[in-house]
Amino acid sequence: MMERANHINIAMIEDIGTNGTVGSKVAPVAEQSPKRGSTVSFHNVRYRVQLQSGFVCRRKTSHREILLDLNGIMRPGLNAILGPTGSGKSSFLDILAARKDPSGLSGEVLIDRAPQPPNFKCLSGYVVQEDVVMGTLTVRENLRFSAALRLPRSVLQSEKEARVGTQMTRGISGGERKRTNIGMELIIDPAVLFLDEPTTGLDASTANSVLLLLKRMASKGRTIILSIHQPRYSIYRLFDSLTLLVGGKMPHNNPADFFLDVINGDSTATSMTKVPGSEDVEFEEQSGSRQSIEERLVDEFRSSSYCSATRAELELIEQEKKCSSCSKSRTITYNSSFLHQLRWVLRRTFQNLMLNPQTSVAQCFSTVSAAELFITERKLFVHEYISGYYRVSVYFLSKILSDITLRTVTSVIFSCIVYFMIVPRLHADGDLVAYTATAMTMAISATRARRRPRQHLHDHHLRLHDALKINEFVGLKFCDEAGIRNMSAAETNCSYLDYLGIEYTTWGLWENHVALTVMTFIFFIIAYLKLRYIKKFT
């Protein structure tokens, strides 16, 4: 992504695709200059989680403090949140982005001296740590999908295409995937862009190029806030503002390399203060010394003139805080209509099914593959839903329509091949059994985050077989043993159904169809409700 004086380019740096060809070119796009970034201030932010231990009858509840009394300001520019593992970086970033569970959270986050709007997570950009792009689509197709759903209807289609910029024809590297994620968030030109450890999984050179990209965007006035573990000096020097976290507390911020070494217990400065000959210090003493250093850093920062000036500015912001009638509830807003979302999501779903050989082959041969529908795309769905891409009902209908269509087509093809070989009893409503099985598997898929099949649906399984048996055996001609020996004519009977105790009257058959129809809708409703109330906060 590149930015110039009077236009925005969401373009990919040239990279070699898997076919050995250069797959991207920069395409200048006439567009307005990016909006000025917002100032984010946080006041007395505290966050704690509830922990439960013990058995159900003797369950104990305790609380763990994750963040303690954080105060500060992040202005337009490249703002970094640094700290060791477990220091609360990701939790703090999610709180600033309004993506953290409000329970256990206290304090206030202001955007340009006003409370966060209820739909702030739809107005800002958020790049998650794990890349969540549809791998079967090209870069251009992913960017076009984001532009079609997140830009308002007032933006012309030609302008949406212009913001996409360019594409890459085939396979892309990890750095290109990260830039694709950033590009999908920059489509809406957000005033604030959040990134959760954007250098994770990248080599040093690629990580440096990604941070240079962010620095160029920040230099144009955009507010970029990112969390990062332990950057090199070449990356650290790009930061305009720095927030260090240790144990949920905020020590002073400069210089970053020294303080990170102190926090991790690897600083040569701390080792220089040791008395010569004291290398055999016990582990407990070292741990206690490290903890005392962390507390001392926090205390020194709170008593520093810089912290006093920051608190004075925060008090001024509080006094000038703009009154807002916005509720504190988190809401999701959409820039496109239901039918527009359905058209784009359905097209992407069909395209993904056709381009993913494992998914398409599995769905041709097994109903159990319906369990993969929601599990494999769980993270992608959660991110796109809370970012305002589409409604839950749109995603759910797209999955159902695409899956049932593919199963119907393959069933017709297979039936044309084997029907006259086995001569089954053909009824149009016989496919209802397969649809019910698919709906049941979808309901299971929506409730699970991992691929672990369940084995407790035996009764429903028998109900499906009852309908199949009635459909196949009613009206068939069986020859008894004597008839076979004497070559006599066969007689019509349902002795096998009588033996199984299955009622084969007209109502007996329709009773199963009614039961299957009801079960189908029940399982679809369960799957939808599970998606509707899926855990959306971190």
pLDDT in tens, 357-401: 666 565 555 555 566 667 778 889 999 999 999 999 999 999 889
Q: Locate 455 and state its tokens.
A: 């084995």
Q: Which residue has the higher pLDDT, 173 or 243?
A: 243
Q: Where residue 23 falls among pLDDT bands split at 50, 70, 90? A: very low
Q: Could you tell me which residues are beta bridge partners of residue 192?
A: 223
The percentage of the chain sitting over the pLDDT mark of 70, rounded to a whole number, equals 60
Q: Where residue 411 falls among pLDDT bands split at 50, 70, 90? A: confident
Q: Which residue has the higher pLDDT, 3 or 500?
A: 500
Q: Where residue 2 falls among pLDDT bands split at 50, 70, 90? A: very low
Q: Where residue 6 falls among pLDDT bands split at 50, 70, 90? A: very low
pLDDT at 491: 44
pLDDT at 225: 94
pLDDT at 25: 39
The percentage of the chain sitting over the pLDDT mark of 90, rounded to a whole number, equals 13
pLDDT at 392: 93
pLDDT at 252: 57
Residues 50-69: what's their mean pLDDT? 80
What's the gap between Cα 63 and its chain centre?
A: 27
**The pLDDT of residue 213 is above 80:** yes
Predicted confidence (pLDDT) per residue in 512-525, tens digit: 778 888 888 898 89
Predicted confidence (pLDDT) per residue in 297-354, tens digit: 788 778 777 788 888 888 888 887 766 555 555 688 888 899 999 999 999 998 888 8
Of 17-21, 253-257, 292-296, 369-373, minimum mean pLDDT range: 17-21
Of 1-15, 74-88, 229-243, minimum mean pLDDT range: 1-15
Q: Where residue 127 falls among pLDDT bands split at 50, 70, 90? A: very high
- Parse the chain into domains and list their residue ranges: 2-54+63-267+285-319, 338-532
Of 228-237, 427-436, 456-465, minimum mean pLDDT range: 456-465
Handedness of CA 293, 297, 300, 302 (dihedral sign): negative
If DSSP states are collapsed to H, E and C, what string results for 213-266? HHHHHHCCCCEEEEEECCCCHHHHCCCCEEEECECCECCCCCCHHHHHHHHHCC
Residues 114-142: what's their mean pLDDT? 87
Q: Which residue has the higher pLDDT, 448 or 337?
A: 337
pLDDT at 87: 84
Q: Where residue 472 falls among pLDDT bands split at 50, 70, 90? A: low
Q: Are 156 and 186 in contact (CB under 8 A)?
A: no
- Cα dihedral 178, 182, 185, 189 in deg (nearest 10): -170
Q: Which residue has the higher pLDDT, 227 or 160?
A: 227
* CA–CA separation, 72 and 310 (whole Å): 7
Q: Where residue 438 falls among pLDDT bands split at 50, 70, 90? A: low
pLDDT at 394: 94
Q: Which residue has the higher pLDDT, 204 or 369?
A: 204
Mean pLDDT of the chain: 73
Alpha helices by DSSP H, 109-173: 120-123, 139-150, 157-164
Q: Which residue has the higher pLDDT, 365 or 77?
A: 77
Q: Locate 417 and state its tokens.
A: 């091949």
- Cα dihedral 421, 426, 429, 431 in deg (nearest 10): 0
pLDDT at 489: 44
Q: Which whole-number Å values give the CA distances from 96 to 224, 271, 316, in the listed order?
A: 12, 36, 20
pLDDT at 490: 43
pLDDT at 444: 62
Region of 388 (left: φ > 0; alpha: ψ -120 to 50; beta: rest) is left
Residues 428-449: what's their mean pLDDT? 60
**The pLDDT of residue 293 is above 80:** no
* Superfamily covering domain 2-54+63-267+285-319: P-loop containing nucleotide triphosphate hydrolases (3.40.50.300)
pLDDT at 379: 87
Predicted confidence (pLDDT) per residue in 43-53, tens digit: 999 999 888 77
Q: Which residue has the higher pLDDT, 393 or 414?
A: 393
Q: Where residue 97 falls among pLDDT bands split at 50, 70, 90? A: very high
pTM of the full structure: 0.74
**The pLDDT of residue 212 is above 70:** yes
**The pLDDT of residue 469 is above 80:** no
